């Protein structure tokens, strides 16, 4: 069934630049591949929406393999994050218009939750690939923070026409620098002897938050389950 999924996604990518992630594209993918509609609907129940999520998930899978193959041992944590985000976008470069059309689709209120879940999945893949061991509130904050960085970088990348996307990579560096500065400030506040007594209660409460139990990943279009590992 993976082969059928890939065939339908590949066929859809030929039509997305003209018709978006739409029912027209879904029907064209069925016609191009010769897959019967019942089987196609079983794999992608919501049609083109699930095709778009399947395309996104395929990119995450490719990123996961790229991170496994990369030698990150000499990189600082910010360099690893930059490398991962940049790799994810470079993997999608050949289908930039499909990403643009997907961004438009998931900006619609009815599909906003799907779009947020897809971004979270990418950020979870990144932290997992970087070896994050966090299992407390940091598991959530790292992915939430990276989701903001990744989402804004994607939007900048979509409108970037600079040579080699140099402007995008500069933008990404600035966003990560902002996050690093915030983390430094947070550490200074937590280490401040005057403020420490006032933070004891909130910090204890936050320490009780645990990451979701790791579960087998369910291979459905756009699905993301289980928690990865990762830490700065």
* Per-residue tens of pLDDT for the chain, all 232 residues: 889 999 999 999 999 999 999 999 999 999 999 999 999 999 999 999 999 999 999 999 999 999 999 999 999 989 999 999 999 999 999 999 999 999 999 999 999 999 999 999 999 999 999 998 877 778 888 888 999 999 999 999 999 999 999 999 999 999 998 877 745 544 544 544 543 453 344 443 434 545 665 644 433 333 333 333 333 3
- Supply the CATH number for residue 105's domain: 1.10.357.10
pLDDT of residue 184: 54
The pTM assigned to this predicted structure is: 0.81
Which pLDDT does position 43 carry in this prediction?
A: 96
Cα 133 from Cα 142, distance rounded (Å): 11
Tell me which residue range forms the domain holding 181: 2-207
pLDDT (0 to 100) of residue 103 = 96
Distance CA 89, CA 104 (A): 17
Q: Please answer whether residues 105 and 21 qualify as being in contact, where contact means their C-beta atoms are separated by less than 8 angstroms.
A: yes
Residue 216 within any structural domain of the chain? no
Neighbours of 12 (CB within 10 A): 28
Helices (H), the chain: 2-13, 16-19, 23-33, 37-43, 48-69, 77-91, 96-105, 112-129, 137-158, 166-191, 196-207
**Run of H or E residues at 46:** none
User: How confident is the model over 141-164, as pLDDT tens digits?
Assistant: 888 899 999 999 999 999 999 999
Identify whether 226 is part of a domain: no
User: Does residue 219 lie within any of the structural domains?
Assistant: no
- Total domains in the fold of the chain: 1
């Amino acid at each position: 069934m993976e082969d059928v999924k890939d065939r339908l996604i590949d066929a859809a990518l030929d039509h997305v630049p003209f018709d978006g992630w739409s029912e027209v594209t879904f029907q064209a993918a069925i016609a191009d591949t010769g897959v019967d509609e019942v089987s196609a609907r079983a794999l992608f129940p919501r049609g083109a929406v699930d095709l778009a999520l399947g395309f996104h998930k395929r990119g995450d899978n490719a990123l996961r393999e790229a991170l496994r193959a990369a030698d990150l041992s000499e990189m600082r944590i910010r360099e690893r994050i930059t490398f991962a985000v940049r790799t994810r976008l470079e993997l999608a470069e050949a289908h930039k218009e499909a990403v643009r059309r997907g961004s438009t689709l998931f900006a619609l209120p009815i599909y906003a939750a799907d779009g947020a879940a897809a971004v979270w999945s990418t950020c979870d893949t990144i932290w997992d690939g970087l070896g994050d061991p966090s299992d407390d509130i940091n598991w959530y904050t790292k992915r939430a923070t990276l989701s903001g960085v990744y989402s804004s970088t994607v939007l900048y990348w979509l409108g970037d026409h600079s040579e080699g996307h140099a402007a995008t990579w500069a933008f990404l560096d600035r966003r990560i620098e902002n996050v690093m500065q915030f983390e430094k400030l947070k550490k200074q506040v937590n280490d401040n002897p005057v403020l420490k007594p006032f933070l004891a209660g909130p910090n204890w409460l936050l320490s009780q938050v645990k990451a979701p139990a790791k579960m087998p990943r369910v291979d459905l279009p756009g699905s993301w389950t289980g928690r990865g590992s990762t830490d700065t």
